[in-house]
Chain A
């Protein structure tokens, strides 16, 4: 058989040159991400696709730990909406978190993250639900009155049109006033993943300069 292991890739594999051309990543960085992807996607089910349990295991070292925000991020990474994350989805989604990714992409991703019910708006009930979820996660105890006060104050700052929902334009305005809202949308690790993770054995098949 002439088949080589070298050509066996995970389902949804895309050429690093293609992904590098579409994202801020270099070809070498995409290849490094592929090494990470293979580890994540084979940690529980060896099918080369990241299942939600594998995502949770990677984030929390616990496959059964549910978390509202991890669920939302998984769902946004799962672009094809088929319950798993393939390599192309992994790279394209992570690219939004690259320090060199356009700020507008980060703004839109964060907006979609908070738009829990995917209505195209962030609603007050969604904001309160997220605050309560965070309190539950952190085991912080705040009275109902304090939660209402926090949500109210944030809502007054954000819902500048006063129509009871936050649209993308209002979200953009809020973020411009408080840039730290996007702090988690940038992962410094991604700036040069090949140096940050020297354990990855890299043997680039294509020089970055070739693309």
Chain B
């Protein structure tokens, strides 16, 4: 199945995962 480039970016970039702001505390 083809994946959307935006989906690729949003699901894979660690820089887009703000949960780390909380988890790394």
Contacts and interface: CB of A to CB of B under 8 A. Distances in A.
B25 A73 contact: no
Secondary structure at the A interface, as helix, strand, loop or mixed, is helix
Interface of B: 2-22, 24-25
B22 A59 contact: no
A67 B8 contact: no
Secondary structure at the B interface, as helix, strand, loop or mixed, is helix
A168 interface: no
Contact of A40 (B3, B11, B15, B21): B21
Given A59-B20, A187-B19, A131 B8 contact: yes
A206 interface: no
A181 B6 contact: yes
Nearest to A152: B5
Interface of A: 36, 39-40, 58-61, 67-73, 94, 97, 110, 113-114, 127, 130-131, 133-134, 137-138, 150-151, 153-154, 157-158, 174, 178, 180-184, 187, 189, 193, 196-197
A181 B10 CA distance: 7
Contacts of B14: 59-60, 67, 70, 137
